[in-house]
Amino acid sequence: MLRAVEPGPSVVVCVTCRNSAAAREDSAGRRGGALLEQALHAVQADDASLRGVTVQPMACLFACTRHCAVHIRAPGKVGYVLGDFAPDVEAARAILEYAAHHAASAEGQVPYRDWPEGVKGHFITRTPPEGFVCP
């Protein structure tokens, strides 16, 4: 059930997510999560500053009512699950920019002023790192 990945700052993208709240797939039969993964890689190919965050595909994050879900994480830091994204490069850029701020933070908390507009309103939950809870 588990597959080992390199530790470090990452965006785990649910590749089986719906395309939208109304449609499981697009007109070509592609899932939204798979399209979002492609968009994340496309943004990284165009912007070297966002390549420090690894994109890690995973089948189902169990956020099915919040399509195009991602988990932003890094060792020893608070993680975040976000959803309700369009599977496009604009959303991918916002996700990666937030993930880069997250990676640069001490404990995973990014000041609101540094949040890209495209992630505001998309947070579902935060997850403490193993061995910690948030006060």
Give the pLDDT of the chain (135 residues) as one tens digit per residue.
899 999 999 999 999 999 998 999 999 999 999 999 999 999 999 999 999 999 999 999 999 999 999 999 999 999 999 999 999 999 999 999 999 999 999 999 999 999 999 999 999 999 999 999 988
User: Domains in the chain and their CATH numbers?
Assistant: 10-127 (3.40.30.10)
pTM over 0.85: yes
Among residues 25, 111, 130, the alpha carbon closest in space to that of 68 is found at: 25
In this structure, the number of other CB atoms found within 10 A of the CB of residue 101 comes to 18
Among residues 32, 55, 62, the alpha carbon closest in space to that of 124 is found at: 62
